[in-house]
Amino acid sequence: MTTLHLGVLLAIAWAVLTMTFLHLKAKSYGIRKLYSKPAGDPAKGVVYAFTLGMAPWAKESVMMNLPSYGAGLAFHAGVLTALGLLPVAAFRLELPSFVLFSVRLFTLAGVVGGFVLLMKRLVNPQLRGLSCPDDFVSNILGSTFALLAFAWTLSPVAEVPWMAEAMLLLIYAPLGKIRHCLFFFTTRYHLGAFFGRRGTFPPGGRFHA
Amino acid sequence: MPELDELETRLVGLTETDIQRGLEVFRSKLKAAEASYLNSCVHCGLCADSCHYHRMDSTLENIPAHKLELISSVFKRNFTAMGRIAPGLVGAKPFNREMAKAWVDAVFGRCSLCGRCSVNCTIGIALPRIFRAARAALGTMGLVPTDLQATVDNSLKHGNNMAVTKDDWVETVQWIEEELQTETGDPGAKIPLDKQGAKVLFTVNPREPKFFPLSLLASAKVFWAAREDWTLASDNGWDLTNYGLFNCNDEQAGAITQNLVDAMERLGCQTLVIGECGHGYGAARWEGPEWLRKSYPFEVKSILELMDEYLRAGRIRLDSSKNPIPVTLHDPCNLVRHGGICEAQRRVLRQAVDSFIEMTPNREHNFCCGGGGGQLAMARYKQRRIRSGGMKAKQIRESGAKIVVAPCHNCIDQLMELNKEYKLNVQIKTVAEMVADALVLDA
């Protein structure tokens, strides 16, 4: 393990500790004690929120914006694949060729997805109006991270900039909107529990008749 | 527009103390769930067209994420480290007069708290929970639109939101009882008032005695046919509405809810039955116990559930051929998406009418009619309300139905306006009215 790898490890530790702090801080707001009699099962609502409730067909917003949804999926797949590649680089592991091919495919898809989302944010006036600098910084950090991971699979020369980029990404993650990698799960949990308790989730119907 | 001037005047007169108090109330409404929501939005913008306001008027201000951002920017600035250290980077903004004005416009003027954005958010943010916290903060600062607050004040002062006097209410009930006797041919048919120990305490929207007595007659006819042991309260506790759900003042909302609880205790009833009213059901069934911080010692049901039970138990029989005109169903947000009652009204209608056509989309994905969230009580936003209702008008037209059934009197008011504005040429009725028309009466 090189000094660079140690730096990445420290950045991971920072990200994990800071995210833990953010999680605890959010939890410190307290859990609402509920007095109304439940009509449904919050647990079933949570399960639905994390499974079928995430399916494209469960959301009209996704069905109406499939290219953006696809770009988002690709972007996240690319960044997560690049993250998974970090220990491979640190421990100099050999990847089977089909895994390597998949890694290249996902990271490249991540770059393309990130670029598409960035362009959409720049070009679409409403989306631009909705954005703050953090939106652009987060996208660029994620896209570059996936791009450098892809480059590293082609040439070890890319390792230094990739590791440096990894440190930047991990240090920035809890500071900006990338924190949604934590809060996505807590938010979805709360949404599922809320609608599950009220008997709305899992639903009996669909948005089409 | 005097209302506009009044609100503007209050905004101009805001002091630093008012703003701080607003922030404190906002913070006090946040729990772990809301803290999570406020940290989650990625500004993907996919929620935009889930909102009927944006669908009918495609502006940045109508995107749910933008409305949320106005609030989360203040949250970041005041309650997060990054918002204090690098506000420009993360979009954190101070809470000041301009921001308060933007909040009023967003959460009162461009949102009916319908929650359609919640089920369409790719992350899963329950945005109305945040908007309710913002409304509560604005209320503390005296920034609730006057006419909305007046509706709440009516309930607090008179025990019902339309200031109907006890004499008027009792007289109307007695008159409807005579109508019931004529219609059923049963001189013994009663609309009981203050019947001690009745199983069911039935509550209605004051619009029924005031403007839609046939709705109350229909419910009474169904109870009569089912031989239900029921009563109305003559005093406080007959009005199911609670606009405290919309001004988001939990103390006032709790006081209005207490009228229902007191009536249940006074009359010794077992089940509180909420008439056809979306927000009334949401307020009494779901939020009431939270406002009062105690569980009810009785059951709360919608009349839709009760009618469904009657049919299942064979207590009433229906002849659908008595309702031959095609019918579609509007799903009130507080009853369906936020209330969890999705199927009972459908089971009832399928037996009550010959041709039942679903709107598309429906159930928890249904569009708000535009009248929710207290919009009907805020005259200053009328144009937006009617425009945003265009989505509902489109749904109705595409259904091809000639009768729209809406189990909510607020929705009915809005639908009647949409009917006129968009020239839909439909009849608008309650579920109980359809059931009453289809009843098979024993000889």
Q: SS3 of B121, please?
A: coil
Mean pLDDT, chain B, whole residue set: 96
* Residue A208 clears pLDDT 50, i.e. is over it: no
B3 pLDDT higher than 70: no
Whether the predicted pLDDT of B443 surpasses 60: no
Nearest residue in chain B measured CA to CA from A73: B122
Mean pLDDT of all residues in B238-260: 98
Q: Is the pLDDT of residue B256 over 60?
A: yes
Mean pLDDT computed over A92-100: 95
Q: Which residues of B touch A199 (CB under 8 A)?
A: 340-342
CB contact under 8 A, A60 and B365: yes
pLDDT (0 to 100) of residue A121? 98
d(Cα A31, Cα B390) in Å, to the nearest integer?
39
Chain B environment of A72 (Cβ under 8 Å): 44, 122
Q: What is the identity of the amino acid at B38?
A: L
Token code pair at residue B237: 């506790």
Task: Please give the domain boundaries of chain B with CATH numbers for all domains.
Answer: 2-143 (1.10.1060), 150-312 (no CATH), 316-438 (3.40.50.10700)
ipTM of the complex: 0.95
Residue of B nearest to A32 (CA): B31
Provide the residue type at A186 as one letter: T
- Alpha helices by DSSP H, B41-80: 52-56, 64-79
Q: What is the pLDDT of residues B387-421, one digit of tens each?
A: 999 999 999 999 999 999 999 999 999 999 999 99
The pLDDT value given to residue A68? 97
A7 CB-contact burial (10 Å; exposed 0-12 / middle 13-18 / buried 19+): middle
Average of per-residue pLDDT across B38-59: 97
Does the beta carbon of A76 lie under 8 angstroms from any beta carbon of chain B? Answer: no
Interface test mutation site (partner A, options B28, B30, B43, B80, max chain A beta carbons within 10 A): B43
Which of B240, B433, B264 has the alpha carbon at shortest distance from B335? B240
Mean pLDDT of B56-80: 98
Categorize the per-residue pLDDT at A207 as very low, low, confident or very high, splitting at 50, 70 and 90. Answer: very low
A:159-198 residues touching chain B, CB 8 A cutoff = 175-177, 179-180, 183-184, 186-188, 190-192, 194-195, 198
H or E stretch covering B429: strand B427-429
Contact A129 B60 (CB under 8 A): yes
Instruction: For residue B49, give the DSSP letter.
Output: G
Q: Which residues of B touch A198 (CB under 8 A)?
A: 286, 338-340
d(CA B273, CA B338): 18
Question: Looking at the predicted structure, is the pLDDT value of residue A81 above 90?
Answer: yes
User: What per-residue confidence (pLDDT) applies to A209?
Assistant: 36
- Per-residue model confidence as pLDDT tens digits over B204-218: 999 999 999 999 999
Task: List C-alpha distances in Å: A126 to A191, B57, B69, B127.
Answer: 26, 13, 13, 19
- Do B152 and B64 form a contact (C-beta atoms < 8 A)? no
Check residue B4 and give its pLDDT: 56
pLDDT tens per residue across span A129-173: 999 999 999 999 999 999 999 999 999 999 999 999 999 999 999
CA gap A20, A26 in Å, rounded: 10
Alpha helices in A28-132 (DSSP H): 42-50, 60-63, 66-90, 97-123, 125-130
CA dihedral sign, ordered B385, B391, B395, B400? positive
Percent helix, strand and coil across chain B, each rounded to 5?
Answer: 55, 5, 35
Least CB–CB distance from B49: residue in A64, A183, A208: A64
**In the predicted model, is pLDDT for residue B435 greater than 50?**
yes
Q: Is the distance from CB of A90 to CB of A8 less than 8 angstroms? A: yes
